[in-house]
Amino acid sequence: MVSDEILVKRSRQGDREAFALLIERYQDKIYNLTYRLVSNVDDSADLTQEVFYRAMLKIKEFRGDSSFSTWLYRIATNICYDELRKRKTRRFVPLDDSTPDGFSPKIADKTAGPAEKCLEKLMQQHIQKAISTLPPPQRTAVILRDIEGLSYEEIAQISQCALGTVKSRISRGRKALRDLLMSEQELFSPEHVYTK
């Protein structure tokens, strides 16, 4: 396999096929990342396009002081932050112990498909919803660590912050997610679903 560095070099010289290979290599990762950050499939397709478009515009500025993927992730997180800022919606997460809207009722009237599949899908939605409640810096750190599987150092480079900041963001983000997910866990245990 041709290395990223060579493809980047060729892309800088105007080789579109090289850049096409880079897109192929990273589009799923970027799409995944943008979806986890903004929680909307349609938006993440547009954002992924924007990421590569901007990468192409700026590829001459890429000096190779980080890996290409780190650089690309940085562009992606910046674009997603812009997007999140654009959404002017006031989003209030309930502070009391009641369940976030839309979760428990759906379990009660689950009708279509095999129970496990439905449960699996609900679980996925549930986790994504929980992720979306995290403040963006924590959200980014947790996504990059636990979903994209990056190292702490890479995350620090992408977020352009200190390693210690990354550590605390990941710790806090995971804890907050744990609290959200665990408070709902009883609802997701099979007995609960079948008795309802």
Query: Are 30 and 74 within 8 A, CB to CB?
Result: no
- Write the CB contacts of 21 (distance below 8 Å, at least 6 apart in sequence): 2, 7
Does 117 bind other proteins (CB under 8 A)? Our answer is: no
Residues 146-185, one symbol each (x = binds other proteins by CB under 8 A, - = not), give: xx-x--x-------xx---x-x--xxx-xxxxxx-xx---
Nearer to other proteins, 118 or 147 (CB): 147
Does 137 bind other proteins (CB under 8 A)? Our answer is: yes
Does 49 bind other proteins (CB under 8 A)? Our answer is: yes
Does 76 bind other proteins (CB under 8 A)? Our answer is: no
Q: How far is CA 181 from CA 71, 115, 120, in A?
A: 32, 20, 14
Nearer to other proteins, 57 or 108 (CB): 57
CA 125 to chain centre: 13
Rounded Cα–Cα distance for residues 3 and 68 (Å) = 10
List 52, 68, 71, 73, residue binding other proteins (CB under 8 A): 52
Nearer to other proteins, 97 or 109 (CB): 97
- Encode burial over 64-98: b for 16+ CB neighbours within 10 A, e otherwise: eeeebbbbbbebbbebbeebeeeeeeeeeeeeeee
Does 113 bind other proteins (CB under 8 A)? Our answer is: no
Structure tokens at 186: 């009883």
List 15, 105, 113, 124, residue binding other proteins (CB under 8 A): 124
Query: Are 63 and 34 within 8 A, CB to CB?
Result: no
User: What are the residues binding other proteins (CB under 8 A)?
Assistant: 14, 16, 19-20, 23-24, 27-28, 30-32, 35, 41, 45, 48-49, 52-53, 56-57, 78, 82, 85, 87-93, 95, 123-124, 127-128, 133-137, 142, 145-147, 149, 152, 160-161, 165, 167, 170-172, 174-179, 181-182
